[in-house]
Amino acid sequence: MPIQFDPIQQCFHLRNQTMSYIIGIEKEAYLTHRYWGEKLPTYHGSNALQMVDRGFATNPFPEERTFSLNALPLETSTQGNGDHRVANYQIRNSKNHTVTNFLYDSYQIKKGKEAIPGLPSLRATTDDAETLEIVLKDTIQQLEMRLIYTLFENYPMITRRVVYTNNGSQTVALENAGSMLLDLSDCEFDFLTLDGSHTNEANLNRQKIRPGIQKIESTRGTSSPQHQPFLALVEPTTSEFQGSVYAFHFVYSGNFIAQVELEQYGTTRVQMGIHPDHFEWQLAPNTHFYTPEVVLNYSNAGFNGLSQTFHQVYQQHLIAPTWQKEARPILLNTWEGNYFDLSEEKLIAQAKKAASLGIELFVLDDGWFGKRNHDDSSLGDWFVNQEKLPHGIEGLAKEVHRLGMKFGLWFEPEMVSKQSDLFKAHPDWALQVPNYPLTEGRRQLVLDLSQPAVQDYLIAVLGDHLATGQIDYIKWDMNRHLTEVGNLFFNTPQQKEISHRYVLGLYRILETLTTQYPHCLFENCSSGGGRFDPGMMYYMPQTWTSDNSDALCRSVIQYGYSYLYPPIMMGAHVSSAPNHQVGRLTPLETRGWMAMSGNFGYELDFETLSPEELAEVQQQIAFYQKHRQLFQFGQFYRLQAPDAYFASAWLFTNEEEAIAIYFNGLSRPAMPTKYLKMRYLDPAATYLDLATNEAFSGAELNQAGVLIPRVKRDFHTQVFHWKKQ
């Protein structure tokens, strides 16, 4: 049994082959965090709790001055009765009081893992996982808090979430409903996050934690490009290759908060949940509130170890089963090659060219509907522009299919343009607060997905398109953040529920469409990686990583995202040079390797390429097709983080072959001698270099490495390709 209760020690021990997580019960009332890290064969409480009479401490048992909630390492905070660190929940009653007294009540251990009503979560069977539910009760107000832990059998990973229940007779307001909190009895950590902006997502930031609170958050309505809903606590000596990391990733696509608090006695409190700003939930008698779940991932093998677990678990337990082993097609997206300037004739010519080069999926991006010739109109009018496409979407799709490719189509379903038939017909469907102007972003408004009528409408509109049987792929875009979060639909107390109800509405739409059309490949997009989070990945197995397609910038962005997501989940396209976002000229070869390091595609007008370039594109496509298993389903390891000259390196490997890619970045004088060590090849195997025909042991390539020859050129790429013998 991976999860056991020890009645002598009064603790729960969650243990698998690699990891232990231990929760104590103190005084039959309070849950303490006792241990998380490498597997412990047994636990007898060697790390006893520190019990001393502290200044300013308050005591639930007055005669026991050494017992204070403020100094215990807890598994959930208390509220208003002695734990003065930042709490992870708050419940207001009809008298406006927020004090509660949740005490341990009971527990249950179950095989498997239950889905969360209305929310995405990791998937597991009774063979993969075991779940512990611990019930805490406030008997004064008849409130219940159920802490739910699932331990994965084969990974150093657990998930945590909370169910808040009102068993009383009065409605209470959940003002904060955190998903997870724990106090680590240590303070020597760095705080690691992935931050950025539109076109500059997922930059790694690492800094030493200091006394007080450090946090990342989003109150933009989506998880945001500004901060990935992720944080890690990292031991100071941890690197890509060794050391301990405690990582937390939120399976949610809306407002969030992720914070650590280094408190007075050297404990580090970590918590994650829906952001309490703009949130409140009316918890009526006999109802539950389900929080989204947090993934907790422990690595004692550095960041690469951490990423291996994330990659495997997300590929096998997060995305829909249909896509877990399904190879992804090489696509051509029309956006950067055409923008809004579309015509059937032009598109068919481009499709023919694409097919002749080996492209497998032709994606028609923005501009095909309503009067959409610019970004200021027509969102919501999801009917074809007959002037541009006289034979409709079906006509074009049939032609693309006839050419032997799949057909994909762009939508931005959550939005409405003021200039649209939809807005004229349903002005009350946009998010709005009475008397205040509607703030536009990219000249568009946000549809209020909290309203069931809006959800039903979008399910019907997209469902009608999918029902034609001509659409194999949908790119689901979302290009602004939420403002005037309110509506004319819900009553006054429920207005603060709308941000969360928006996300629940989005999930309902996605659940319905992806269940009805499981073989349509959905690509998640929010101006690139604006909502790249595990919640969206549950429904859509790949994401357009960034609107920045420059190969050099992508080496930083894809490097950062690879901490969490495998390459198959990250859309990466070869685009034009000079690049449209930064104006940089990079070799087609480098653009190719960067795009092959993600979910491979193109985004340019092939007509603008020379015959030599077209021949190179054809070779890239043929190469990727031949080695698709390696790129899409092999293991991916980071070997070198982008340095001051933007040189970086990574490795793909599987049972048959390995490819290491070194991106030189900027050429420099006095280039240091560089040996790239592979570190993760099978040391006992022999690898044949396919360029030179030389054979080396995996051990030699791992430890001694290969020389990076000097090349006097910016943005050059050096690739090593071995066949495993």
3-state secondary structure 1-57: CCEEEECCCCEEEEECCCEEEEEEEECCCEEEEEEEEECCCCCCCCCCCCCCCCCCC
Choose the binding region for ligand DGJ from 246-254, 524-532, 621-629, 693-701 (rule: CB under 6 A): 524-532
Nearer to ligand DGJ, 367 or 541 (CB): 367
| 338 sits in which H/E element | helix 335-338
> Which of 357, 368, 375 shows the shortest CA–CA distance to 397?
368
Sign of the Cα torsion 694, 700, 705, 710 reads negative
Inter-residue contact 537 to 228 (CB < 8 Å)? no
Alpha-carbon distances, residue 225 vs 253, 278, 613 (angstroms): 11, 19, 33
Other Cβ atoms closer than 10 A to 326: 15
Alpha helices per DSSP H over 97-193: none
Nearer to ligand DGJ, 457 or 544 (CB): 544
Phi, psi of 458 (to 5 degrees): -70, -35
> What does the per-residue mask of binding to ligand DGJ show for 449-488, with x meaning CB under 6 A?
----------------------------x-x---------
How far apart, in whole angstroms, are the C-alpha atoms of residue 584 and residue 555?
A: 14
Choose the binding region for ligand DGJ from 27-35, 145-153, 522-530, 635-643 (rule: CB under 6 A): 522-530
Residue closest to ligand DGJ (Cβ): 366
Show contacts with ligand DGJ in window 328-357 (CB under 6 A). Answer: 335
Phi, psi of 83 (to 5 degrees): -90, 105
Quick one: tokens of 403?
Answer: 């050419």
Point out which residues pair with 623 in neighbouring strands.
Answer: none
Choose the binding region for ligand DGJ from 6-14, 75-83, 520-528, 698-706 (rule: CB under 6 A): 520-528
Binding residue (CB under 6 A) for ligand DGJ from 250, 410, 624, 636:
410
Inter-residue contact 625 to 358 (CB < 8 Å)? yes
How large is the greatest C-alpha to C-alpha distance in the chain, in angstroms? 87
Match 């032709």 to its residue by tokens: 362
Query: What is the closest distance, in whole angstroms, from the C-beta atom of residue 442 to ligand DGJ in the complex?
Result: 8
Nearer to ligand DGJ, 316 or 527 (CB): 527
Binding residue (CB under 6 A) for ligand DGJ from 73, 178, 408, 528:
528
Nearer to ligand DGJ, 90 or 543 (CB): 543
Under rule CB under 6 A, residue 444 binds ligand DGJ: no
Nearer to ligand DGJ, 168 or 528 (CB): 528
Query: What is the closest distance, in whole angstroms, from the C-beta atom of residue 10 to ligand DGJ in the complex?
Result: 53
Terminal CA-CA length for the chain:
40
Residue 477 among the catalytic residues: yes
> Which of 637, 669, 628, 653 shows the shortest CA–CA distance to 721?
653
Q: Do β-strands 281-283 and 268-274 pair in parallel, antiparallel, or remain unpaired?
A: unpaired
Query: What is the closest distance, in whole angstroms, from the C-beta atom of residue 212 to ligand DGJ in the complex?
Result: 37
Query: What is the closest distance, in whole angstroms, from the C-beta atom of residue 334 to ligand DGJ in the complex?
Result: 9
Q: Is 250 left (phi over 0), alpha (psi -120 to 50) or beta?
A: beta
Helix axes 611-626, 588-596, angle to 10 degrees: 20
Sheet strands (E) in 43-199: 89-92, 103-111, 129-138, 143-152, 157-166, 172-184, 190-197
Nearer to ligand DGJ, 196 or 528 (CB): 528
Choose the catalytic residue: 128, 477, 533, 714. Answer: 477
Count residues contacting ligand DGJ (CB under 6 A)?
A: 11
Choose the binding region for ligand DGJ from 206-214, 288-296, 523-531, 656-664 (rule: CB under 6 A): 523-531
Query: What is the closest distance, in whole angstroms, from the C-beta atom of residue 247 to ligand DGJ in the complex?
Result: 27
Under rule CB under 6 A, residue 381 binds ligand DGJ: no
Phi, psi of 466 (to 5 degrees): -70, -30
Under rule CB under 6 A, residue 527 binds ligand DGJ: yes
Query: What is the closest distance, in whole angstroms, from the C-beta atom of residue 109 to ligand DGJ in the complex?
Result: 45
Nearer to ligand DGJ, 269 or 480 (CB): 480
How far apart, in whole angstroms, are the C-alpha atoms of residue 325 and residue 656?
A: 17
Phi, psi of 425 (to 5 degrees): -75, -35
Instruction: Give Cβ neighbours of residue 7 (< 8 Å, ≥ 6 apart).
Output: none
Quick one: tokens of 472?
Answer: 């194999």
Other Cβ atoms closer than 10 A to 114: 12
Query: What is the closest distance, in whole angstroms, from the C-beta atom of residue 528 to ligand DGJ in the complex?
Result: 5
Sign of the Cα torsion 489, 492, 493, 499 reads positive
Query: What is the closest distance, in whole angstroms, from the C-beta atom of residue 74 to ligand DGJ in the complex?
Result: 42
Nearer to ligand DGJ, 510 or 661 (CB): 510
| 246 sits in which H/E element | strand 245-250
Nearer to ligand DGJ, 202 or 525 (CB): 525
Query: What is the closest distance, in whole angstroms, from the C-beta atom of residue 385 to ligand DGJ in the complex?
Result: 15
Show contacts with ligand DGJ in window 540-559 (CB under 6 A). Answer: 544, 547
Nearer to ligand DGJ, 69 or 520 (CB): 520
> Which of 90, 97, 77 shows the shortest CA–CA distance to 147?
77
Quick one: tokens of 151?
Answer: 């331990």
How far apart, in whole angstroms, are the C-alpha atoms of residue 64 and residue 62?
A: 5
Query: What is the closest distance, in whole angstroms, from the C-beta atom of residue 546 to ligand DGJ in the complex?
Result: 8
> Which of 328, 326, 474 shows the shortest CA–CA distance to 407?
474
Query: What is the closest distance, in whole angstroms, from the C-beta atom of residue 170 to ligand DGJ in the complex?
Result: 47
Query: What is the closest distance, in whole angstroms, from the C-beta atom of residue 134 to ligand DGJ in the complex?
Result: 42
Helix, strand, coil tally for the chain in percent (to 5): 20, 35, 45
Show contacts with ligand DGJ in window 359-378 (CB under 6 A). Answer: 365-366
Residue 464 among the catalytic residues: no
Which residue ranges make up the site for ligand DGJ (CB under 6 A)?
335, 365-366, 410, 477, 479, 525, 527-528, 544, 547
Q: Active-site residues: which are they?
A: 477, 547
